[in-house]
């Protein structure tokens, strides 16, 4: 449970902060990536309650500050430069959970394209029926990937590209913008476990922007192109 802020009030899915959620068959998922504004409320909370409960694999994680790459971006940009443990802790604080298995707990690390095992993949692929959130074939102008628009490569405010919607109505930026951490790791030993990152980012092209792309980073990574969204 969380001690969250002001977001998501009146939301049928619950949650106390973060993006509004979209209800799917059997679970809910954030409509957008978690923003700088959402994360700032959580970070302020960690300043007064530094001993957040974390899973054992995050025992090394004593600082929830995002990597400084995003400090000059507005409130409605996706937070980035957060490690897996920061994302996990935010979702718990907000009364949600980092997207994992629809039945609870972690998704299976070695099955990134199995909708029965992954809330994130199910939402992106319309329950396994599409390759990209918007359809079957890659279209560089639908979402904020490396081939989108002009020469300026970087994140955009969440839900600002209206064509980047799906696999279900009301869910935005599941391809491109920033990678999204998933609760799907290859072990539970600590900071060097590999954990899934989903959806590609503003610097990727076709293959990495597909719903079932096979990508991961160490749990402690704070890459400038990695953010997250929560499920319930």
Neighbours of 146 (CB within 10 A): 16
Distance CA 49, CA 41 (A): 12
Structure tokens at 103: 């039945």
What pLDDT is attached to residue 49? Answer: 82
Distance CA 185, CA 90 (A): 18
The model carries a pTM of 0.93
- pLDDT truncated to tens, each residue of the chain (232 aa)? 333 333 444 557 989 999 999 999 999 999 999 999 999 999 999 998 867 889 999 999 999 999 866 556 899 999 999 999 999 999 999 999 999 999 999 999 999 999 999 999 999 999 999 999 999 999 999 999 999 976 678 999 999 999 999 999 999 999 999 999 999 999 999 999 999 999 999 999 999 999 999 999 999 999 899 999 999 9
User: What separation, in Å, do the N-terminal and C-terminal C-alpha atoms of the chain show?
Assistant: 11
Query: Is residue 29 within a helix (H) or strand (E), and if so which, with residue range?
Result: strand 28-30
What pLDDT is attached to residue 51? Answer: 75
- Cα torsion 204, 18, 122, 213 to 10°: value is 20
Q: 195 in helix, strand or coil? A: strand
Q: Compute CA distances 169 → 74, 123, 223, whole Å.
A: 25, 10, 29
**DSSP tag of 18:** S
């Amino acid at each position: 449970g969380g001690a969250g802020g002001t977001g998501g009030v009146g939301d049928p899915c619950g949650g106390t902060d973060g993006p509004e959620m979209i209800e799917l068959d059997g679970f809910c998922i954030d409509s957008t990536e978690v923003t700088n504004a959402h994360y700032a409320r959580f970070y302020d909370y960690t300043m007064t309650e530094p001993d957040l409960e974390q899973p054992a694999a995050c025992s090394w994680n004593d600082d929830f500050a995002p990597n400084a790459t995003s400090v000059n971006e507005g409130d409605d940009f996706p937070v980035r430069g957060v490690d897996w443990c920061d994302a996990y802790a935010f979702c718990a604080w907000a009364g949600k959970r980092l997207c994992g298995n629809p039945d609870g707990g972690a998704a299976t690390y070695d099955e990134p394209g199995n909708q029965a095992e992954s809330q994130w993949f199910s939402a992106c692929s319309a329950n396994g029926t599409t390759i990209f959130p918007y359809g079957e074939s890659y279209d560089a102008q639908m979402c904020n990937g490396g081939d989108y628009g002009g020469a300026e490569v970087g994140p955009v405010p969440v839900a600002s590209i209206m064509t980047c919607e799906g696999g279900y109505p009301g869910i935005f930026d599941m391809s491109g913008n920033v990678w999204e951490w998933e609760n799907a790791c290859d072990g539970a030993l600590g900071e060097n476990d590999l954990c899934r990152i989903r959806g590609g980012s503003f610097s990727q092209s076709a293959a990495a922007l597909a719903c079932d792309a096979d990508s991961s980073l160490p749990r402690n990574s704070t890459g400038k192109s990695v953010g997250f969204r929560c499920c319930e």
